[in-house]
Amino acid sequence: MFQQMKVRTRLTLGFLAVVVLGAIVAGIAIYNMTQMNERAKRMYQQDLLGISYMKEANLGLVYVGRAVRGAMLASTDEQRAKMLANVDKYEQMLRENVDKARPLFSTEDSKRSFAEAESQLRDFDGAITEVLKRM
């Protein structure tokens, strides 16, 4: 059947077959790129934002430590009061970032790591409270 067709017809059919195959491959590629884009968005909105908030919480933790050391080393009551106000401000910043990060961790492994970090944070808060009571 194919041999009885003119060369022009065979070339046209061959070209159309290549075009159809190309369209199928392009459609599959577009679909896969859409899926990859959705996964990247989900990863950003969940994991990376959660990690970013925890990074900010870690900075708050460092600032709390600095403010406590500053309060302990303060030579006047005015300086000590300023440093203690900074402790409260940085603890609030720390809590806000931890609260923002909490719902963003969705896998069991990340939830377990987050729970461990919160446990250590509670221990840190207890130690800071004890230090502040003794000042």
Confidence of residue 123 (pLDDT cuts 50, 70, 90): very high
pLDDT beyond 90 at 7:
no
For the entire predicted model, the pTM comes to: 0.70
Query: CA dihedral in degrees (49, 55, 59, 64; nearest 10)?
Result: 90
Mean pLDDT rounded to a whole number for the chain: 92
Burial class (CB in 10 A: 0-12, 13-18, 19+), 92: exposed
Confidence of residue 5 (pLDDT cuts 50, 70, 90): confident
pLDDT in tens, 31-87: 999 999 999 998 888 888 889 999 999 999 999 999 999 999 989 999 999 999 999
Predicted local confidence at residue 46, as pLDDT:
81
Mean of the pLDDT values across residues 113-125? Answer: 92
Give 109's contacts (C-beta < 8 A, 6+ positions apart): none
DSSP class of residue 76 equals S
